[in-house]
Chains A and B, each alone.
Chain A
Amino acid sequence: MTIVDFTPLSALIGGAFVGLAAALLWWTLGRIAGVSNVLGSVITEPAGDNAWRIAFLAGLLVSGLTAMLLAPGAVHFELKAGAGQLVIAGLLVGFGTQLGGGCTSGHGVCGVGRLSMRSVVATLCFMASGMLTVFVVGHLL
C-alpha cells in the first residue's frame, strides 16, 4: 500500500460543510439529511411531506451547477466506469440504500454522529463491501 493524492485539509473543510448542512436541516426542520431516504421518499410517496425534500435535492443539484458555472476548472471529476457498469452500480446503490435504510450521509454522517449503533454497523458494512469490490475489480479482474 502506498499513500497518494492525500488532501486532508480540503477533505476536513468539505466534511465540516457537510456536517453543517446536516446540522442546519436538523435544527430547522428536525430532519435527517440522508440523501437516499429523501430521494426514495420523494419518488415513491408523491403525496408525502415533500416540499422540503424537493428543495433539499434541488440544493444539491444547484451546488454542482453553480460550481460548473463559476469555477469549472476547480471541479475535479474523473469517472472511469462505463455505462453498463454504471447501470449495475446504480441499481445496487438504489436497492441497497433502501433495504439498508440509508447511505453515506444518513448512516455514515448523521447516524454515526448520533452514535447510532445501527448506523455504525451499516457504515462498516458498506465500507467493507466497497473496499472488497474495488479490490476485486481493480486487482483481480
Chain B
Amino acid sequence: MSPVSTVSSRLIYDALKACDIRLLSALPETWLVHLVRMADDDPEMTLVRLAKEEEGVGISAGAHLAGVKSAMLMQNHGFLASINGIVSCAQLYRIPLLMLVSFRGEFGERDPWQTEGGAVTEDLLRALRIPFSYLDHPDHVARRIATAQTLALSANKPVALLLCRDLMWEEG
C-alpha cells in the first residue's frame, strides 16, 4: 500500500476541477501518482504525459491562449528543469501558469538524491519572483488552489504551490 495520500490527492484534484482546469501536463513522481491516475481516468480532463517538464510550459501556454485552463504537475526537480521555459515563455509573454510542485528534499526526506533540489526550491521561486505558497494541510487545499489560480489569471503570470510531505505522504 503506497503511503502517498489518496485523500489529499482527491482534495487537490477536485480543487483543480473546480477552477475549470481541463488540461494537466505531468511528469509523474511518487507523490503525484494518484493525481496523475485521477486525471487519466477523468474523461473531462486532458492528461499530457511529458518527456521533460519544460514542455509543459509550452503546452500550457498554447492551451491558455486557446482559452483552456491548465496546470502543471511536477516535482521540484521538474521545476528546475523548466526554468528557461518559465522565464522566456510564461513570464516573457505574461501567461498564467498554475504549477503544482511536489516539495522533495525537505525535512523527512529519506532519498539522498532529492536533497539538493529541496535546498534551492524556495530561493529559486523567490529569485524568479514567482508567487508561491504551500499545500501542507487538507484544510487549506481547496482555498489555496483557488486563490493561486485567481492570482495567476489576474497577474498573467506563473504561480506555484508546493505540495508538502505532511499533506502527501502518510507515514508514521
Same complex for A and B? Answer no
